[in-house]
Chains A and B, each alone.
Chain A
């Protein structure tokens, strides 16, 4: 009781002190008077009285307070005496107290059930201080204290010493409370407003003197907390070039910077991905502007983070081995004639050797170096394989193993260039341990540090070049050696031709001592090569007269040597516009459009590493160039470097844009430009000055979405990189989900979404396999009992009414049947192979033949607005049971890449579910043209209860633990573990049958989905299960073929979408 009162007093005091009025007796009294009233229920009442949170808050506040003021125990006996005496000093019992109704008294008593009959300190204080208080106050106090005292006898006397002792203890407690700061605030923050001064935190002398000591301590503490960093140097010193380069080199140790990094970092949201620092999206609002640039102007992207792997060896050796890593079914391979000649760039999906169609490695593009006519004798060929950095390691290890290239190249190498690099690299690495430097360090000791470019980014002491003893094939990793920019859009030609000027023919060296341009001078001595250069130049000039890159054959390669693009930089940024005068209808353009660039013009010096190195080393620094510009006689006139102008070999590769499908052909086409390293910014700025807009990773994702092509690595679920990507994405999304309070999360269990953050491809395919098997068995048994799902029951009852067989094509049908037989045998072989191999994996169908077949089946065969396109007309098979069976058999667990466009409303999202519509849905769609789609009935969350229970149990246990520390730890741990698995709103891990979990049967998932600015409606891309797709198609009516339902993870609404397979 004693402590209680003191607590109240302390609290009150605290308040009073905070208010800044120290000695105001009245205020204190008031504070004291109120405090116990508030405190009383807190203490006495059960928890129901006051919320937990409030209690906690109070406890926190009281933490620093002296917990209780107690006199030492020997005062105990006289203590009660004091009270009595004290109380006794109050001799008046005002009649006013009688005025208070009984009920209120009762209430008061009820509220203070703990109060002992003796008067509290509070009451004593009232009276010791307030002798001259008003009548009313006295009366109340008297009533309060006296009420309980009435029955007690009045104290007759008071001992001064004990009384003073008791007061002393109280006073000391109060002083302590005043001295100790209870809140987290700083001293000057506790001052009343009128005592505050500007910059108090900066200068303690502005504080009242009594607070200075405390403030000083606080200030010191704050200084210690701040961590020491390089701010000690002044900004000027930090920005000095040398220090800046040191700092930059330090910062790019972990994640490689592209050459345009600084430019990007000023304008883009940067992300660290795949070991690089890349621009995600511009900081300006430019989502739509970038789209417009892609379709109407020119969008520029830095793709230098793509990795180039170089293979050197005899043509037949390379082809023989590479053939095992890809398959002719998926389209032209390395051996395709136009690719092999070096005229066009090829693209394909690599597989583990002899593992097709399983175990995909990832998509690549490749370029063969064109054959030199002069040296036909040697059959050595050079091949570049461009990969995404997330796929590089897998592909590189596989390549090394299939070519048996195990030895780092120092020991033996047919390529002198590579050894040269390597030898130089080795001592360098040994010399500067752990510090990445450009390799020509030894020559340039005077310059303290150089920017890290190209091979400077390689991990020291690790080989980047391997050779095989048996075949002599050399694999080298040219990551960051060759820069690659991508220009997308119809104005690409204007930007390119305006920004780049072909190199002038040069026959004399500028200086004898430098080796600047010596390769070019050598080259220009050969008249044949000069004429080749002129032909390349002529073709490059022709590009001005072509309105879009899509008019040029896909993958065309044009080699070129250009002058320094910095020289003819325009003064202001302007948009390069097409010049109508250049659009002449001549034979040259026609030839270029129809046949592309001739083979010899694809030749470029960029293939030669010595030349590239020379070009990189002899680049005129920006500074010198600007100085020379400043020294011009007429300011602002064109700078003419004459023979000193650098010549840079480049490679232009046409990107075909959208090729598959029927709408928007050639959308998003453009050119890729490959440069030797070190020249990044020299080309970047001129492109931007010609009006190109720059996009980041987000734009490349959108680009591939509108092109309806799978994006790397998001849409390769059968590649290791794709799997990795999915896992990363899941953890990110899950974290994001968990950050919300549970009541604000979408409950995916109730929504019937089993996997909102991850597409369970493995389980999807497995479930469909099981379904298929069950259905087959039922067919075999020819049992009439209907399956639960409409589709499965529909499959056996063919023939389909929608398919029209044309008799005129009879011969074709037979031949196709012959094909089919043949195919079946091959497929059968494949199947046996599969079954031998691991059966747990699914794979993505990439066989062109099958995809074309499926694409034909997906189209509605009749209906209004559609030209009737009988399947047999295009040499396609009818969708009959015998055509389907071999597919079912062989592609048991396969996924198909599909594109979906919504019929009406809705914009699909990531991981939206693709489902099979039922007959009733079609009926309703027929009835009501504005029918949006059916609704999924709400599911029941059977885990919620469990989670709540667990939580309760945990809480109880925690409470129990406080009481009895020896709780069973094992049980506790188990409960926690269970709790970890159960997250409110998510299904715990072993998912049930994903296909039949909802009212509509699940076919697949969306991996990219958004409102498409290109199509003007919601569009999605994703994978569906092949078996499921075929089942669905065979049961759908002819005019409704390929209609599916889409449902986003956080919604119950299904929406109709048309499914397309574009080949």
Chain B
């Protein structure tokens, strides 16, 4: 989404963090800042022996959707058929805050909602085929 043109009075736009659900052990939120390899190995560790998770959930939002898919596919490729993927998409409502810089214009809504796409990929281990 493009940056909004500032109205007559000056406003500062600040983005808030997306809302998230309480985090379980197996939840992995993928971002663009952390190294790809690190995120991948984190997922592998969670799924691997001693990781303690039979299934993990990889969440990616916006730009990170690609990376989330990439991680899931890499996991599957490395898992030798023992992993199954189930992808879900959703829309996440994000809030952008407009901060007034002066005293007069306090009345525009303090925050605006904006939608962004997200993906949630469940990666679970299937029992090895007999």
Contact = CB atoms under 8 A, between A and B. Distances in A.
B14 A577 contact: no
Q: Which 4 A-B pairs have the closest CB atoms?
A: A337-B106, A578-B22, A335-B103, A594-B111
Interface in B86-111: 93, 95, 97, 99-107, 109-111
Given A547-B20, A665-B17, A595 B106 contact: no
Contacts of A583: 21-22
A370 to B, nearest CB: 14
Contacts of B93: 590
Nearest to B14: A659
Given A328-B103, A554-B97, A666 B16 contact: yes
Contacts of A338: 100, 106, 110
A551 B22 CA distance: 14
A318 to B, nearest CB: 14
A331 B100 CA distance: 8
Contact of B19 (A333, A337, A547): A547
A226 B106 CA distance: 69
Interface in B48-79: none
A590 B103 contact: no
A546 interface: yes
B45 interface: no
Contacts of B110: 338, 553, 594-596
B109 A594 contact: yes
Contact of B111 (A341, A595, A663): A595
Contacts of B95: 551, 593-594
Given A328-B102, A554-B99, 14 more contacts: A332-B103, A336-B106, A339-B106, A553-B110, A553-B111, A583-B22, A593-B111, A595-B109, A595-B110, A595-B111, A596-B110, A665-B14, A665-B16, A1063-B12
A275 interface: no
21 contacts: A335-B103, A336-B106, A337-B105, A337-B106, A338-B110, A340-B106, A341-B106, A546-B19, A547-B20, A547-B21, A551-B17, A553-B97, A554-B97, A580-B21, A580-B22, A590-B113, A594-B95, A663-B33, A665-B14, A666-B16, A666-B17
A848 interface: yes
Nearest to A319: B103
Output the residue of A336, A340, A596 with the most chain B CB within 10 A: A336
A336 B106 CA distance: 7
A548 interface: yes
Interface in B10-38: 12, 14-17, 19-22, 33
Interface in A322-336: 328, 331-333, 335-336
The SS class assigned to the A binding surface is loop
A1027 B18 CA distance: 39
A848 B16 CA distance: 21
B112 A337 contact: no
A594 B14 contact: no
Given A583-B22, A593-B111, A336 B16 contact: no
Contacts of B113: 590, 594
A333 B112 CA distance: 23
A665 B14 CA distance: 9
Interface string A929-948: 00000000000000000000
Given A554-B97, A583-B22, A596-B110, A548 B103 contact: no
B7 interface: no
A65 interface: no
A590 B94 CA distance: 10
Nearest to B17: A666
Max count, chain B CB within 10 A of own CB: residue among A579, A590, A594: A594
Interface in A541-556: 546-548, 550-551, 553-554
A875 interface: yes
Contact of A875 (B6, B19, B20, B102): B6
B88 to A, nearest CB: 15
A659 B17 CA distance: 11
B17 A332 contact: no
B13 to A, nearest CB: 11
Interface string A1017-1033: 00000000000000000
Contacts of A551: 16-17, 19, 95
Most buried by A among B12, B100, B102, B107: B102
A594 B111 CA distance: 5
Nearest to A852: B12
A594 B112 contact: yes
A593 B102 contact: no
Given A328-B102, A332-B102, A548-B17, A337 B107 contact: yes
Contacts of A1063: 12
The CB with the most chain A CB atoms within 10 A, among B93, B95, B106, B107, is that of B106
Interface string A833-863: 0000000000000001000000000000000
Contacts of A550: 16-17
Contacts of A547: 19-22
A1062 to B, nearest CB: 12
B100 A336 contact: yes
Nearest to B18: A551
A545 to B, nearest CB: 9
Interface in A86-135: none
A1041 to B, nearest CB: 21
A331 B106 contact: no
Contacts of A340: 106
A578 B19 CA distance: 14
A109 B24 CA distance: 93
A329 to B, nearest CB: 9
Nearest to A660: B14
Nearest to A296: B23
Contacts of B12: 1063
B104 A337 contact: yes
Contact of B101 (A332, A554, A596, A666): A332
A551 B20 CA distance: 10
Contacts of A554: 97, 99
A332 B100 contact: yes
Contacts of B100: 332, 336-338
Contacts of A590: 93, 113
B26 to A, nearest CB: 14
Interface string A190-221: 00000000000000000000000000000000
Contacts of A548: 17
Nearest to A580: B22
A333 B21 contact: no
Contact of A331 (B17, B97, B101): B101
Given A548-B17, A595-B109, A336 B103 contact: yes
A868 to B, nearest CB: 15
Nearest to A331: B101
A580 B19 CA distance: 13
Nearest to B5: A875
Given A580-B21, A593-B19, A333 B101 contact: no
Contacts of B109: 594-595
Interface in A511-552: 546-548, 550-551
Interface in A633-685: 659, 663, 665-666
Nearest to A577: B22
A591 B113 CA distance: 10
A594 B33 CA distance: 27
A577 B22 CA distance: 9
A661 to B, nearest CB: 10
A153 to B, nearest CB: 103
A718 to B, nearest CB: 22
A271 B18 CA distance: 40
B67 to A, nearest CB: 16
